[in-house]
Structure 1
Amino acid sequence: MNKFFDLHKGEEDKRAVLENVRSNISFTGSNLWILMAAVFIASIGLNVNSTAVIIGAMLISPLMGPIVGAGFALGIFDFHLLRKSLKNLLIATIASLLVSSIYFLLSPFKEAQSELLARTSPNIYDVLIAFFGGLVGVIAITRVEKGNPIPGVAIATALMPPLCTAGYGLATGNLKFFFGALFLYTINCVFIGISTFIIVKFLKYPPVNFVDKKEEKRVQNIVTIVSVLILIPSVYFAYSLYQEQKFRLSVNEFLEKEIVDKGHTLIYKKVSFSTNPKKIELALLSKNYSQDEVDMLNKKLNDFGIENTNIEIKKSASDDTSLLKDDLLNEVSKSDEKDKKIIELEQELSKNIFDNTQLLKESKILFPNINAITVSNNNFAQGDSLVKKTILIYKAETPLSEEDELQFKNWIQQRLNIKNVEVFK
């Protein structure tokens, strides 16, 4: 059975492996240029939210070199190699932060995209990915036949994107992004190094100098302490992530059963998990809840395991329009020309679906950042025919997130009772 798990089979000469590790540590000349180019590419990928571009940057990044070097140095007690590896890792880190910060300072697009946001909240899963990714990488390095794992390891361990995200945090003054991304980068560095240390010890690489048991024990204790210091906050973040996902699932179940299944159309939803108490903001197409009904909904939250949470329901703008219409029709009915004016009034009110002034007032109830809006039907020449399209153009004080823009588009479609709307900023 042991022959199936024997790592010594196919192992490259240890001196050749160490020489290869030492040659990949330095960040001078071409290595530094390659690193800066990779940082620039990764920053563009994060900026335009392109997964393919980010993967490309990870594949060409030489950041793994000094991290693996530090792991080997600890495993063979070569403290000169350890100092050199850590020095070059520091140089690479500072250079990467500078290049990415300069890029994001100069970039006209400052909005945080999903690829960037994904690198700001590390957890225990990132620890596992870094550890097992590093394990595969080191095993591949020690083989005569390197095989295919190296590119996969570069993608899985993802050193470059969090470092560029930290640069984004510096450029925009967002310290939460900076420290979150830097912590993820630290996790990757530390656990790639630890997995390297474990494989080096397992394959019994000889120490450079004679090391007594006391010194060996001291190095092992340092590795253990660093691992625990990284693991504790990672486990906490993972638990927080689990609690947030559990909360959002419960909220979705509650809304489905208590609102959607009762025939009401939900046009806006915002769930705030980090506030105290937690908050659920809602808006419905045509239903306005009284305060008693809102209180009843808040009481029902406990039935779904949702605690310390308040529901806020925004007033339905479309209901205001209906009430206005009823009031105006009642007023017109008092005159001698009732029938004619009712017809004219209803025709005028029916145009309100394209009344941009009214739409702006209603939009600002749900999306306060919006300060200008126009909706119109347009004929577009397409081939030999004309295609009718509804165009929505809006301006906002601060850009809407992708989620908010999608909700805004859905609200417009339901408000105007049309299927397809093209949105332009």
Structure 2
Amino acid sequence: MNNILDNFKLNREKENFKDVIESINNGVDFQGTNLWVLVFAIFIASLGLNINSPAVVIGAMLISPLMGPIMGLGLGMAINDLTLLKKAGYNYLFAAAVGLVTSTLYFAISPINDAQTEILARTSPTIYDVLIAFVGGLAGILATSSKLKGNVIPGVAIATALMPPLCTAGYGLATLRWEYFLGAFYLFLINTVFIALATLITARLLKFPFKVHPDEKEKARVNRVVWIIVIITLIPSIYFGYDIVQKNKFEKKANEFVNNEANFPDNYLLKKTINPKSKEIVLTYGGLLIKDSAVNVLRAKLNKYYLQDCNLKIQQGFSYLNESNNNDEEKLLTNAISEKSILIENLSNQLDSIHKQKTLTTQIYKELKAQYPTIENFVLQPSILVNDSIQKNIWISNLKSKEKINSKEKKQMKEWLKVRLDTDEIIMNFEN
């Protein structure tokens, strides 16, 4: 057991505290190279969000130097280094301002103003983002404090994703979509607070030396301020996380209900709309008129799926088309009906083809049986012969007989079958 626990100890790989503090201190500054890298990362992230390219956004995360001042904030609080704390705080605010201004200017002049999925993904932070930021921060400070850094730092930069939410906030400002700005900037604050918190906790656990040893009152005051900030940041994310879980549960139950229960004879479902926010399911059908009694029976089944508070609306496709003034909706329903009709016709043609093939095989079997009574069973199937030079339609036949069929009879059967099927391309296999 002790050998297993020894694997988790960090003492052998621990970097010199002085070198770690110096490394984080150097990463805090935003001037010269660091500042230009920040500006370029902002442009790359904004472009990636604008053209909806995850690869470009990930590239911006990898080169972004925003992690530096955030880890500086956590370490400054952990070792009671007010100089580092002030320096990190100033550079953090400066970097955030540069990021907002640069991304806002980019999106203000960009001809593409649509909110792509890469943008929307950064506008609704939840408790899960808190966990990602905190665990990512733990990995980041542990890697920085270790001699074996490996590829942890790039991975942390991707996981915690500081740059994309900041640029998304710039998009919200440029397009005056305040809900996007608030959601994205809140995600940026979540990442900031919990990466800094992870750095603070890890530095204390690793027993980084205090620069100025605080007295008990000062230490308690700092801890109180930190936890107030953490709780204030945490509470909204818990609410949003709970809201997302409830929406997912509603959508899952609603889809199960529709798939299992919402089937009416002589009708097909043209459109399904599930709205978790208003707890509403709207189903639009095409076909015969659905009776009120059938709709009431369907509504009664909502309880079975714990959807008793759900408002179920049934719309009759053709009457809905007549009442609707929305051309796009009419076109959507018309196309859906057309697609269903084509599908039904194709399936009907396939069934006809299968039925015809079955009838033909049965008839030929009877005719062969009359000529050769020893035949036990017969298989006939159209197929395609393919090789490097040709591709052509052929027939394949398999015939089984109780007694051995001589070569003359085989040849006669094959020639007869060619005439019967009006083809020269046939492969016959014989079994005795």
Q: TM-score range by the shorter chain?
A: 0.7 to 0.9
Name the counterpart of 1:182: 185
Q: Is the 8 A contact 1:268 1:366 kept in 2?
A: no
- Between 1:186-195 and 1:293-302, the stretch displaced more is 293-302
SS class of match (1:9): helix
TM-score norm. by structure 2 comes to: 0.72
Compute the displacement of 1:265 (Å): 3.1
Pick from 21, 25, 34: which aligns with 1:22?
25
1:122 aligns with 2:125: yes
SS where residue 40 of structure 1 aligns? helix
Q: Does 1:417 align with 2:342?
A: yes
Change (3 A) 1:98 1:263: farther
Hey, what does 2:62 align to over in structure 1? 59
Match of 1:247 in 2: 250
Give the TM-score taking structure 1 as reference length. 0.74
* Higher radius of gyration, 1 or 2: 2
Alignment deviations for residues 2-28 of structure 1 (CA, whole Å, 9 cap, x no partner)? 432222221111111111111111112
2:194 to 191, 196, 199: 191
SS in 1 for 2:314: strand
Question: Counterpart of 1:367 in structure 2: which amino acid?
Answer: E
> Alpha carbons of 1:263 and 1:141: their partners in 2 closer, same or farther (altered >3 Å)?
farther
> Does the C-alpha gap of structure 1 residues 138 and 245 become closer, same or farther in structure 2, counting only changes over 3 Å?
same
Deviation per residue, 1:93-112 (Å, 9 max, x gap):
11111122222222222222
Give the whole-Å Cα distance in 1 for the aligned partners of 2:185 and 2:122: 9
Q: Secondary structure at the match of 1:167?
A: helix
> In structure 2, what is the equivalent of residue 86 of structure 1?
89
Q: Distance in 1 between matches of 2:93 and 2:105?
A: 18
Shift, 1:408, TM fit: 8.0
Tell me the CA shift for residue 292 of structure 1.
Answer: 5.1
Instruction: Note the alpha carbon deviations across 1:172-220, whole angstroms, 9 max, x for none.
Output: 2222111111111111111100000011101111111121122112212
Q: Which residue of 2 aligns with 1:258?
A: 261
Amino acid at match of 1:31: N
Residue matched to 2:209:
206
Alignment correspondent of 2:287: 286
Partner of 1:313: 314
SS at match of 1:191: helix
State the distance in 1 between where 2:245 and 2:293 align. Answer: 33
Report SS of the residue matched to 1:96. Answer: helix
Cα distance in 2 between the residues matched to 1:73 and 1:239? 34
Which of 312, 326, 351 is matched with 1:364 structurally?
A: 326
Paired residue total: 341
Please tell me the residue identity of whatever aligns with 2:329: F
Asked if 1 retains the 8 angstrom alpha-carbon contact of 2:286 and 2:337, the reply is no
Q: C-alpha deviations, 1:358-382, integer Å up to 9, x for none?
A: xxx98936638xxxx8xxxxxxxxx
Separation in 2, partners of 1:166, 1:320: 41
The CA distance in 2 between the partners of 1:285 and 1:111, in whole Å, is 34
Structure-1 separation of matches of 2:93 and 2:257 = 49
Measured at CA, do residues 317 and 48 of structure 1 come closer, stay the same or move farther in structure 2, by a change above 3 Å?
farther
Distance 1:206 1:249 in 2: 52
Moved more, 145-154 or 108-117: 108-117
**Structure 1 stretch displaced more, 105-114 or 181-190:** 105-114
| Paired letter, 2:106 | Y
Q: Mark the runs of 5 or more structure 2 residues left unpaired by the alignment.
A: 345-432
Instruction: Give the corresponding residue for 2:228.
Output: 225
Q: How many angstroms does 1:288 deviate by?
A: 4.5
Structure 1 residues 408 and 7, CA gap change in structure 2 (3 angstroms)? farther
Partner of 1:303: 304
1:37 paired to 2:40: yes
Deviations 1:298-334 (A, max 9, x none): 343222111332223344149979xxxxxxxxxxxxx
Pair 1:161-2:161 in alignment: no
Whole-Å separation in 1 of the counterparts to 2:333 and 2:199: 50
